[in-house]
Amino acid sequence: MKRKRNPLSVNGIIDLLAVGLAAATVFGFLGRFNWFLDLFSHFRVQYMQLCLPLIGVALWKRLNARAAALVLLAAVNYAFVLPLYFGKPAPPTKQPTRAMLMNINAGNGNTEDVLAAIRTAKPDILLLEEVTPKWAAELAVLNATYPHRVAEPQKGCFGIMLLSKHPLKDARIIQIGRAEVPSVVATIRLPNDDLSFIGTHPPPPMGRLYSERRNEQLAELPALAANQKDPVLLLGDLNVTPFSYWFKRVMETGLKNSMKGFGFQPSWVGNAFLKIPLDHALHSKEIVVHNRMVGGDVGSDHRPVIIDFTIAED
């Protein structure tokens, strides 16, 4: 009589984990059809990382076929990440402009940490998200440094504030899609160029309705960017990673991902393992991003995103 395989054996554990990772990988490709399946698209790096110890154990146990399958699975997931490490632009030939995006978290009480991060980074353009009336009052100390601003503080998690060292023109609060959350549109008068700025914060994909509202907002961003007459910089906690179908829809009409050339830079740090890039700086082709970095802990579940950029001469 043939002996049944013990599911708790090394072989059984490897098979069980491999099947789970394979299923999660496949589910991530199906996000356009279902909000829950789209959640699996965000963790490509984690799937690859989980494959690595399984590959090591499989090789140690001389399970070569399983090891080869796991290598293939890891490669499929890392294929989404590897392009981010190529294409870093040349150093700037003129003084770059610095922009900073920070989801400060509506419930975050670490005002001094937030202010210290801003003072250390010294951005020329600063977009703050989850700005409550309390936060707006505490951030008033920045008025002298950033005399130009447009803001709509709100109770809850969707208040927004644009601060600039440079004059703003046609700055206004708009709503994109049906989510009824504020976004910012403005022309920023840089010393030698005009910049079309968009700041937005779609709802998080917490359930079908919120996911639909997020996707609607994301789907309208390309047309909004295309209608601007000057080079476009779009900042925001978009509540989506570059590996999602819905992010790719945003990029189809020519916007560029500032992360390209600087590698995987997670900005949402919900826990030690599930770190993913939800905060984005997207830009039109006329803008060259020379440096991109993620800042330190400011008491929020998000880290600041900082970019240095120039606008290419005609």
Q: Is the pLDDT of residue 1 over 50?
A: no
Instruction: Specify which residues 234 forms β-bridges with.
Output: 198, 282
**Across 252-261, average pLDDT:** 92
Q: Is residue 2 part of a domain?
A: no
What span, in angstroms and rounded, lies between the C-alpha atoms of 163 and 104?
Answer: 14
* C-beta of residue 131 within 8 angstroms of C-beta of residue 102: no
Q: Is the pLDDT of residue 301 over 80?
A: yes
Tell whether 35 and 91 lie within a shared domain.
Answer: no
Q: Is the pLDDT of residue 136 over 80?
A: yes
Give me the domain span that covers residue 39: 10-80
What span, in angstroms and rounded, lies between the C-alpha atoms of 62 and 202?
Answer: 48
Tell whether 201 and 290 lie within a shared domain.
Answer: yes
* C-beta of residue 52 within 8 angstroms of C-beta of residue 251: no
Tell whether 72 and 125 lie within a shared domain.
Answer: no
Is-above-0.75 flag for pTM? yes
Number of folded domains that form the chain? 2
Tell whether 166 and 32 lie within a shared domain.
Answer: no
Q: How far is the first Cα of the chain from the last one, in angstroms, to the nearest whole number?
A: 79
Which amino acid would we find at residue 89? P
Contacts of 138 (CB under 8 A, 6+ apart): 111
Write the pLDDT tens digit of every residue in 199-254. 999 999 999 999 999 999 999 999 999 999 999 999 999 999 999 999 999 998 88
Ramachandran assignment for 176, one of left (phi > 0), alpha (psi -120 to 50 degrees), beta (any other): beta
Q: Is residue 4 part of a domain?
A: no
pLDDT of residue 10: 75
Write the pLDDT tens digit of every residue in 70-114. 999 999 999 999 999 999 888 888 999 999 999 999 998 899 999
Q: Can you read off the two tokens belonging to residue 178?
A: 């049906």
Q: Can you read off the two tokens belonging to residue 232?
A: 């476009």
If pLDDT is split at 50, 70 and 90, which confidence band does 9 have?
confident
Tell whether 156 and 46 lie within a shared domain.
Answer: no
What span, in angstroms and rounded, lies between the C-alpha atoms of 105 and 298?
Answer: 9
